[in-house]
C-alpha cells in the first residue's frame, strides 16, 4: 500500500541513492515513460493486459492509460476521472477498484483502452489515507482507525455492510486476507504496533480474534502466500510462518539500507521492493534471504507491476521498465484473483535458433492469435488458430521473422478473447 509515511519519505529516498557498490546486478533498465508534467510524480500503477493505469500527483482525481504492448516505446493513449483524490487501487480480473478520499470507484476494464465507470460508493465524512483489499464479493477498507466492508456482488450497485468498526487508537497501515482471516497492520502510537486478526467467515460481521507481533514496528506492506507472511517496515523486510496465525514464527529478515517504505510484490520465489534501488530478494529459503538483483533507479519505487520478465516501477517522475528475465517468475500475480482464462509459460529455448516452443493453456475452446514484433514495435507476422480447452504448445520458427532475420530481440504477443500475454524472445544466428 502507499500510505502517508511512504509518500513523505519518497523524495528523501530519491536523494540519498543506493547502498550498493555497483549500479546494477541482473536487472537492466530497457525504457522509461516520463511523466508529462514537471515536478509531479507517479505514486501508483496497475497492469491490465497491454495497458498500465498510472496515478500521479498532478492529476489527483484520475489516472493515465499507457499502452505497453511495445515495452520499448510506452505510449499515452488516454485518461479517466475518479472525481476525488486517489489513494489506492487494485485490479481483479476485468475490474479496477479505486479508493479515493470520498468514495470507492469501480471501473470495467475489459477493454483496457476504454475503462467504463460502473459505480461510486460514497462514505459520509470522507476517508483518511484509506487502503483496501478485495476478497470475493467484498471489499475491506481500512480508514485510519476503523474498518469498513462493502458488498460488491453487484458491481453497479455496491452496498456498505459494515459502516464503521472502530479498531483502536492506532492507525491501520495495511490489510490483507489469508484463509478467511483478516490481518490488520497497526502503527502509531508505538504501544499499539502489531497485527490484529479478525475472523471474516461472515464478512458482514468481522470478529476480533487476537493481537500478534506487538513487539515490532508497524508494517506498511504485507503479503501472505502459502502460510508465509512477508512484511515490510521502515527498517526491515521480515518473514513469518503463519501456519498458526495466532503464533507467528519469525523466519528470515533483510535489513533495509535506508528508511524507505513502499510497495513490494512477490512472484514465485522472488520479492521485489524499493531500498534506494529496485531490489530483488530470493526468498526460496524463507530463513535465509539473499539479494540476487538490483538496479540504482531514481532512488526508490512507490509501486510495482510484473509480467513475463519485465518489471514496471513507479519512480518519481517516470515509470521505469526493467528486464528481469533472468529471474524465472510467473506472469500471474499471487494476490487472490479469479482464474485466468489464458496463461503462457516461458519459451524454451530462449535465446533460440532456429525455433522455440511457448507452452500455453486456455480454459475453454476458442481462437488464439499470435503476433510477432521487432524491437522497434513493427509487426512482423500474425496468425490465428483454433484450440481446444487445455494445454498446448506454440512453435515459433525463425523463418516467420523474415527471409534473413537478424539476431536480436523480438516480442511474441498472444491474444485470447480479451486477454493478452507478451513475451520477450531472443534470436541468435
- What confidence tens digit (pLDDT) does each residue in 88-128 have? 899 998 899 999 888 999 999 888 888 899 999 999 888 88
Query: Cell triple for residue 60?
Result: 489527483
Higher pLDDT, 327 or 305: 305
In this prediction, residue 7 has a pLDDT band, given cuts at 50, 70 and 90, of very low
In this predicted structure, what is the pLDDT of residue 18?
A: 41
Does residue 336 form part of some domain? no
| C-beta contacts of 184-187 below 8 A and 24+ residues apart | 184/142, 184/147, 185/218, 185/219, 185/220, 185/222, 185/231, 186/218, 187/217, 187/218, 187/219, 187/220
Name the pTM for this structure. 0.71
In this prediction, residue 328 has a pLDDT band, given cuts at 50, 70 and 90, of low
CA triple 194-3-226, angle to 5 deg: 55
Residue 376 has pLDDT above 60, yes or no: yes
Does residue 87 form part of some domain? yes
Domain count of the fold of the chain: 2
Residue 11 has pLDDT above 60, yes or no: no
Virtual torsion, Cα 171, 172, 173, 177, nearest 10 deg: 170
Range among 57-66, 79-88, 150-159 with highest mean pLDDT value: 150-159
- Give residues with Cβ within 8 angstroms of 80, minimum separation 6: 62, 63, 65, 107, 115, 117
Given a contact cutoff of 8 angstroms between Cβ atoms, the answer to whether 31 and 74 are in contact is yes
In which residue are the cell numbers 483496501 written? 132
Residue 318 has pLDDT above 60, yes or no: yes
We report the CATH number of the domain holding residue 134 as 2.130.10.10
Q: Tell whether 254 and 364 lie within a shared domain.
A: no
Tell me what the mean pLDDT of segment 261-274 comes to: 83
Q: Tell whether 285 and 152 lie within a shared domain.
A: yes
Give tens-digit pLDDT for 38-58.
Answer: 766 788 899 988 889 998 876
Query: Cell triple for residue 16?
Result: 540519498
Does residue 332 form part of some domain? no
Quote the mean pLDDT of the chain: 82
| C-beta contacts of 198-207 below 8 A and 24+ residues apart | 198/147, 200/135, 200/138, 200/140, 203/135, 203/136, 203/137, 203/138, 203/140, 203/149, 203/151, 203/161, 204/149, 204/151, 204/161, 204/162, 205/162, 206/147, 206/149, 206/162, 206/165, 206/182
Which residues is 47 bridged to in the sheet? 52
Q: Tell whether 381 and 254 lie within a shared domain.
A: no
Does residue 330 form part of some domain? no
Q: Tell whether 375 and 310 lie within a shared domain.
A: no
CA 344/CA 387 separation, integer angstroms: 14
Does residue 91 form part of some domain? yes
In which residue are the cell numbers 515490510 written? 232
In this predicted structure, what is the pLDDT of residue 258?
A: 60
Q: Half-sphere exposure (CA, 13 Å, Cβ side) for 220?
A: 24
Residue 220 has pLDDT above 70, yes or no: yes
Going across the sheet that includes 103-108, the strands are 86-92, 95-100, 103-108, 116-122
Which residues form the domain of 421?
342-427
Helix (H, G, I), strand (E, B) or coil at 389: coil
In this predicted structure, what is the pLDDT of residue 10?
A: 41
Does residue 418 form part of some domain? yes
Amino acid at each position: 500500500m502507499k500510505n502517508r509515511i511512504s509518500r513523505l519519505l519518497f523524495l528523501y529516498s530519491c536523494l540519498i541513492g543506493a547502498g550498493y557498490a555497483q549500479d546494477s546486478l541482473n536487472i537492466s533498465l530497457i525504457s522509461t515513460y516520463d511523466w508529462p508534467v514537471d515536478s509531479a510524480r507517479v505514486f501508483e500503477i496497475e497492469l491490465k493486459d497491454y495497458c498500465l493505469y498510472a496515478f500521479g500527483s498532478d492529476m489527483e482525481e484520475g489516472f493515465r492509460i499507457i499502452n505497453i504492448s511495445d515495452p520499448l516505446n510506452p505510449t499515452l493513449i488516454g485518461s479517466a476521472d475518479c472525481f476525488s483524490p486517489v489513494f489506492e487501487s487494485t485490479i481483479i480480473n476485468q475490474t479496477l477498484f479505486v479508493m479515493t478520499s470520498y468514495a470507492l470507484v469501480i471501473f470495467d476494464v475489459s477493454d483496457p483502452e476504454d475503462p467504463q465507470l460502473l459505480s461510486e460508493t460514497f462514505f459520509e465524512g470522507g476517508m483518511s489515507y484509506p487502503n483496501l483489499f478485495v476478497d470475493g464479493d467484498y471489499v475491506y477498507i481500512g480508514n485510519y482507525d476503523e474498518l469498513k466492508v462493502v458488498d460488491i456482488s453487484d458491481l453497479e450497485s455496491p452496498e456498505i455492510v459494515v459502516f464503521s468498526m472502530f479498531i483502536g487508537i492506532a492507525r491501520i497501515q495495511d490489510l490483507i486476507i489469508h484463509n478467511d482471516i483478516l490481518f490488520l497492520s497497526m502503527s502509531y502510537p508505538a504501544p499499539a504496533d502489531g497485527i490484529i486478526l479478525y475472523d471474516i467467515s461472515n464478512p458482514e460481521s468481522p470478529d476480533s480474534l487476537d493481537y500478534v507481533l506487538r513487539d515490532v514496528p508497524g508494517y506498511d506492506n504485507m503479503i501472505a502466500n502459502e502460510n508465509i507472511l512477508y512484511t515490510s517496515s521502515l527498517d526491515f523486510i521480515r518473514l513469518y510462518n503463519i501456519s498458526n496465525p495466532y503464533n507467528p514464527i519469525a523466519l528470515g529478515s533483510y535489513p533495509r539500507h535506508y528508511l524507505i517504505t513502499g510497495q513490494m510484490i512477490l512472484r514465485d520465489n522472488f520479492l521485489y521492493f524499493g531500498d534506494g534501488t529496485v531490489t530483488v530478494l530470493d526468498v526460496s529459503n524463507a530463513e535465509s534471504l539473499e539479494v540476487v538483483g538490483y538496479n540504482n533507479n531514481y532512488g526508490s519505487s512507490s509501486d510495482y507491476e510484473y509480467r513475463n520478465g519485465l518489471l514496471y516501477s513507479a519512480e518519481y517522475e517516470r515509470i521505469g521498465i526493467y528486464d528481469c528475465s533472468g529471474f524465472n517468475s510467473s506472469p500471474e500475480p499471487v494476490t487472490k484473483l479469479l482464474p485466468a482464462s489464458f496463461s503462457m509459460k516461458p519459451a524454451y529455448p530462449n535465446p533460440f535458433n532456429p525455433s522455440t516452443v511457448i507452452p500455453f493453456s486456455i480454459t475453454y475452446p476458442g481462437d488464439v492469435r499470435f503476433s510477432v514484433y521487432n524491437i522497434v514495435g513493427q509487426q512482423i507476422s500474425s496468425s490465428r488458430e483454433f484450440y481446444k480447452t487445455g494445454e498446448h504448445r506454440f512453435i515459433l520458427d525463425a523463418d516467420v521473422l523474415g527471409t534473413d532475420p537478424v539476431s536480436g530481440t523480438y516480442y511474441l504477443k498472444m491474444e485470447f478473447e480479451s486477454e493478452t500475454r507478451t513475451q520477450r524472445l531472443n534470436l541468435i544466428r
